[in-house]
Amino acid sequence: MQANRVIRALAALAQEHRLAAFRLLVQAGEDGIAAGTLADMLDVPPSSMSFHLAQLANAGLVTQRRASRSIIYSADYAAMNGLMGYLTENCCGGVSCFGNAAGLHSLDREPDPERKSA
Amino acid sequence: MQANRVIRALAALAQEHRLAAFRLLVQAGEDGIAAGTLADMLDVPPSSMSFHLAQLANAGLVTQRRASRSIIYSADYAAMNGLMGYLTENCCGGVSCFGNAAGLHSLDREPDPERKSA
DNA sequence: ACGATATTTATCGAATTATTGGATTAAGAG
DNA sequence: CTCTTAATCCAATAATTCGATAAATATCGT
Domain ranges for chain B, please list them.
1-118
Estimate in Å the CA A13 to C1' C22 gap, whole number: 28
Q: Name the residue with higher pLDDT: B93 or A117.
A: B93
* Average of per-residue pLDDT values in chain A: 84
Least confident piece of the model among A74-88, B41-55, B58-72, B97-111: B97-111
Nearest CB to B78; choose among A16, A75, A106: A106
Q: What is the SS3 assignment for B52?
A: helix
CA of A114 to C1' of C9 (A): 18
Q: What are phi and psi of A102, to 5 degrees?
A: -85, 100
Mean pLDDT (whole number) for A19-27? 96
So what's the pLDDT on residue B92? 83
Which parts of the protein come within 7 Å of strand C, by CB position?
Answer: A 11, 15-18, 44-48, 51-52, 55, 66, 68-69, 116; B 34-37, 39, 46-47, 49-51, 53-54, 64, 69-71
CATH architecture observed for domain A1-118: Orthogonal Bundle (1.10)
C-beta atoms of A91 and B10 within 8 A: no
User: What pLDDT score was predicted for residue B35?
Assistant: 97
Contact between chains at B91 and A26 (C-beta distance less than 8 A): yes
pLDDT > 70 fraction of chain B, expressed in percent and rounded: 78
Which whole number is the average pLDDT over B87-92?
A: 90
Kindly report the backbone phi and psi dihedral angles of residue B75, in degrees, each rounded to the nearest multiple of 5, phi listed first.
-70, 140
Distance CA A58, CA B79 (A): 28
pLDDT at A101 over 70: no
What is d(CA B6, CA A53) in angstroms, rounded to the nearest whole number? 19
* pLDDT-derived band at A16, boundaries 50, 70, 90: very high
Report the pLDDT averaged over residues B55-59: 97
pLDDT > 90: percent of chain B: 73
Q: Which residue minimizes Cα–C1' distance to D5?
A: A69
**Contact assignment for A87 to B85 by CB distance below 8 Å:** no
The average confidence (pLDDT) of chain B is 84
* Ramachandran sector of residue B93 (left: φ over 0; alpha: ψ -120 to 50; beta: rest): left
Min mean pLDDT across A90-99, B19-28, B55-64 is at A90-99
How buried is residue A36: exposed, middle or buried, by Cβ count under 10 Å (0-12/13-18/19+)?
Answer: middle
- Look at the alpha carbons of B36, B39, B41, B44 in this order and tell me if their dihedral is positive or negative: negative
Query: Distance between CA atoms of B32 and B38, rounded to whole angstroms?
Result: 10
pLDDT at A38 over 70: yes
Whether any strand D atom is under 7 angstroms from the Cβ of A69: the reply reads yes
Chain A interface, best mutation among B6, B15, B71, B106, by max A CB count within 10 A: B106
pLDDT band per the 50, 70, 90 thresholds, residue B2: confident
Cβ atoms of B113 and A91 closer than 8 Å: no
Whether residue A103 has pLDDT greater than 60: no
Q: For position B104, what pLDDT does the model report?
A: 40
Flag whether pLDDT at A11 surpasses 50: yes
Å: B47 CA to D20 C1' = 9
